[in-house]
C-alpha cells in the first residue's frame, strides 16, 4: 500500500513499557548517524544499567532512596527535541528517535511514582499515550486518521465511569478533550464463546483458555 500511495499508513506502539529497549534503540540510531547527542544518551543509559533491566529495583531506588535518573532522561529528551534539524533527512527515523526519548522520560517518571501508589501511575501512562498520539498526528498532518487498539479501560471515557471519582483520566477522555467529541469514536469487540491465548498472571506462561460463555441477555448472546 505505502509503495503505491502518497498517503502512507504507519504502525506504531504508544505504550511506555519499553524503557530499556527504547534507550538501546536511541543509542543505536545516534551512533549510526554520528550524532553529538550520543554522549548524553550513553550517560542516561548508564544511569539505568545498575538495575539490570529490573524496573521494580529502579522504582524502589528512585522512590525510597531518591536515586533517580530523572535529570539524565529529561536532558536527553530536550537535546533531541531541540536538535531535530541535526538528524538525517529520514523523517520517520527522526520521529522514532523522538518517541523513544519520550518513552525514556515518561517511563522513568512512571516507575519513580510506582512506590507512592494511587492513581498517579495510571494517569502518567495514559497521558503518555495521548502525548505520543498527538506527535504522530502532528507528524502525519492535519487530516490524519488514527486507529488506537487498546483495552476498554483506556479507550472508553473515564468521565463516564467510577474512574473519575478516583481522579483517573484515560486515552478516550483526553482524546475527546483535545480533538472534540464528534471526531473520536469507540468500536467495541465482544465474544460469545471460544478460546483465547493468555497468561493467568502478568508475565506467566501463555496457555489456551476457554472464554466464559456470554451472560444471559447480553449483547453478545443476542447477537
pLDDT digits (tens, 9 = 90+) for 202-223: 778 999 999 999 999 999 999 8
Residue 82: pLDDT band by 50, 70, 90 thresholds? confident
For the segment 143-155, the average pLDDT, to the nearest whole number, is 93
Q: Is the dihedral of CA 187, 130, 28, 60 positive or negative?
A: negative
208: which strand partners?
Answer: 197
Rounded to the nearest 10 degrees, how much is the dihedral formed by the CA atoms of 100, 104, 107, 108? 180
Taking 70 as the threshold, does the pLDDT of residue 102 lie above it? yes
Taking 70 as the threshold, does the pLDDT of residue 177 lie above it? yes
Q: Can you give the pTM of this predicted structure?
A: 0.85
Considering the chain, what percentage of its residues have pLDDT values greater than 70?
Answer: 98
Residue-averaged pLDDT of the chain: 90
Are 77 and 101 in contact by the 8 Å Cβ rule? The answer is: yes
Distance CA 92, CA 135 (A): 12
Residue 85: pLDDT band by 50, 70, 90 thresholds? low
147 burial via Cβ count (<10 Å: 0-12, 13-18, 19+): exposed
Nearest to 138 by CA among 74, 84, 189, 57: 84
Stated as kind and residue range, the H or E segment containing 20 is helix 19-33
Residues 109-112: contacts with CB under 8 Å, at least 24 apart: 109/70, 110/16, 111/19, 111/55, 111/58, 111/59, 111/62, 112/58, 112/59, 112/62, 112/63, 112/68, 112/70
Are 20 and 112 in contact by the 8 Å Cβ rule? The answer is: no
Amino acid at each position: 500500500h505505502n509503495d503505491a500511495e502518497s498517503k502512507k499508513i504507519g504502525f506504531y506502539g504508544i505504550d511506555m513499557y519499553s524503557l530499556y529497549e527504547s534507550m538501546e534503540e536511541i543509542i543505536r540510531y545516534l551512533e549510526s548517524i554520528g550524532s553529538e547527542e550520543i554522549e548524553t544518551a550513553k550517560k542516561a543509559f548508564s544511569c539505568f544499567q545498575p538495575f539490570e533491566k529490573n524496573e521494580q529495583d529502579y522504582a524502589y531506588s528512585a522512590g525510597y532512596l531518591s536515586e533517580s535518573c530523572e535529570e539524565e532522561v529529561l536532558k536527553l529528551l530536550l537535546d533531541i527535541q531541540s536538535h531535530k534539524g541535526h538528524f538525517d533527512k529520514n523523517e520517520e527515523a527522526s520521529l522514532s528517535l523522538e518517541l523513544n526519548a519520550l518513552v525514556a522520560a515518561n517511563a522513568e517518571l512512571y516507575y519513580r511514582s510506582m512506590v507512592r501508589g494511587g492513581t498517579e501511575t495510571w494517569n502518567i501512562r495514559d497521558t503518555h499515550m495521548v502525548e505520543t498520539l498527538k506527535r504522530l498526528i502532528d507528524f502525519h498532518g492535519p487530516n490524519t486518521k488514527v486507529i488506537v487498539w487498546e483495552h476498554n479501560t483506556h479507550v472508553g471515557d473515564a468521565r463516564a465511569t467510577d474512574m473519575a471519582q478516583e481522579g483517573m483520566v484515560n486515552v478516550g477522555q483526553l482524546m475527546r478533550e483535545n480533538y472534540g467529541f464528534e471526531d473520536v469514536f469507540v468500536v467495541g469487540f465482544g465474544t460469545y464463546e471460544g478460546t483465547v491465548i493468555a497468561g493467568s498472571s502478568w508475565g506467566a506462561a501463555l496457555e489456551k483458555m476457554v472464554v466464559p460463555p456470554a451472560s444471559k441477555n447480553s449483547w453478545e448472546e443476542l447477537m
